Amino acid sequence: MSIALHTVAIRLRQAREQLGLSQKKLGILAGIDEFSASARMNQYERGKHLPDVYMVARLAKALSIPEPYFYCEDETLALIVLALKDATQLQKKSALEFVKALDKLKL
Amino acid sequence: MSIALHTVAIRLRQAREQLGLSQKKLGILAGIDEFSASARMNQYERGKHLPDVYMVARLAKALSIPEPYFYCEDETLALIVLALKDATQLQKKSALEFVKALDKLKL
DNA sequence: AGCAAATACTAAGTATTACTTAGTATCGTG
DNA sequence: CACGATACTAAGTAATACTTAGTATTTGCT
């Protein structure tokens, strides 16, 4: 019997496995002490504890993933955020215009 | 002398002021006890304390703003997330395709 | 299969941080 | 000016995360 995992926990495991890292290694990459990295990362992924925003920021950096990705419940929005990772300001502006236009279109 | 505010704090104030709510009122709307709502919300906005993800979720709901918005450092990305608030799944898929194409275009 | 190393996971005490309370400052308006 | 509303703060208490010291489980090798 278990309570539903928070999006942060789900996205974290998702992103880590994508890169083929162990919980411990990712923790160390994010700057956690090597003796507690394994336990802490596991607690995050299992939903035992929640990483605070600063920790999520360091994990995001270690994984090269935008921070807001970890808070996207909607899978498609998560993918949009991910796809905009290396976008230039101009590209983002362009995407914004597209989305605004989309809104008026009621597709 | 003060340390830079976290994005959550900045976006929170931004969103609250947009709606013309007081700190206390927003806190109450988000389910905080009326006697501590003012202090807590102020601590969040001033960066004295950080709301955890569950609190951010409740604030997001009270403000009718998507959760990931609060973690978007980039202003344009924040606006994209905001613009997709009421988007249908089809519209989001469409936006995703656009962003993917944009990526290959190196605009 | 059997073993070892790596990885995943957990309980419990300690450390850290948020939350509540009680209040002071500041702003806006009659 | 005064008063009500809003913003803000210090400090003690309550809640939560972090560390430690392990136990389970999985993986790969002979």
Burial environment of residue A53 by CB neighbours within 10 A (0 to 12, 13 to 18, 19 or more): buried
Report the C-alpha gap between B31 and B28 in whole angstroms.
5
- The total of other beta-carbon atoms located within 10 Å of residue A90's CB is 11
Mean local confidence (pLDDT), B50-74:
97
Distance between CA atoms of residues A68 and B58, nearest Å:
17
Question: Where residue A7 falls among pLDDT bands split at 50, 70, 90?
Answer: very high
Cα A10 to Cα B60: distance, rounded to the nearest angstrom: 20
Residues B16-56: pLDDT tens digits? 999 999 999 999 999 999 999 999 999 999 999 999 999 99
Cα dist from B80 to A34, A54, A56, B32, whole Å: 38, 23, 21, 29
Residue A2 per-residue DSSP state = -
Cross-chain residue pair A50–B53, CB shorter than 8 Å = yes
Å between CA of B60 and C1' of C19: 20
Give CA–CA dist B25/B31, Å, rounded.
Answer: 10
Look at residue A105 in the predicted model and tell me its pLDDT.
Answer: 80
pLDDT value, residue A2: 56
User: Distance from B56 to chain A by nearest Cα, in Å?
Assistant: 10
Q: Are B88 and A90 in contact (CB under 8 A)?
A: no
Query: Which residue is closest to B72 within chain A, CA to CA?
Result: A68
Average per-residue pLDDT for chain B: 95
% of chain A beyond a pLDDT of 70: 95
- Mean pLDDT calculated for residue range B70-75: 97
End-to-end CA distance of chain A: 41
pLDDT at A33: 97
The one-letter code for the residue type at B41 is: M
CB contact under 8 A, A66 and B77: yes
Which CA-bearing residue is nearest the C1' of D20?
A: A36
Say what the pTM is. Answer: 0.92
Strand C bases with any atom < 7 A from protein Cβ: 6-11, 17-23
- Chain B residues lying within 8 Å of A69, measured CB to CB: 68
Confidence of residue B3 (pLDDT cuts 50, 70, 90): low
Q: What is the pLDDT of residues A36-69, one digit of tens each?
A: 999 999 999 999 999 999 999 999 999 999 999 9
Cβ B68–A83 below 8 Å, yes or no?
A: no
Q: Look at the alpha carbons of A54, A55, A56, A62 in this order and tell me if their dihedral is positive or negative.
A: positive
Local confidence band at B107 (pLDDT 50, 70, 90 cut-offs): low
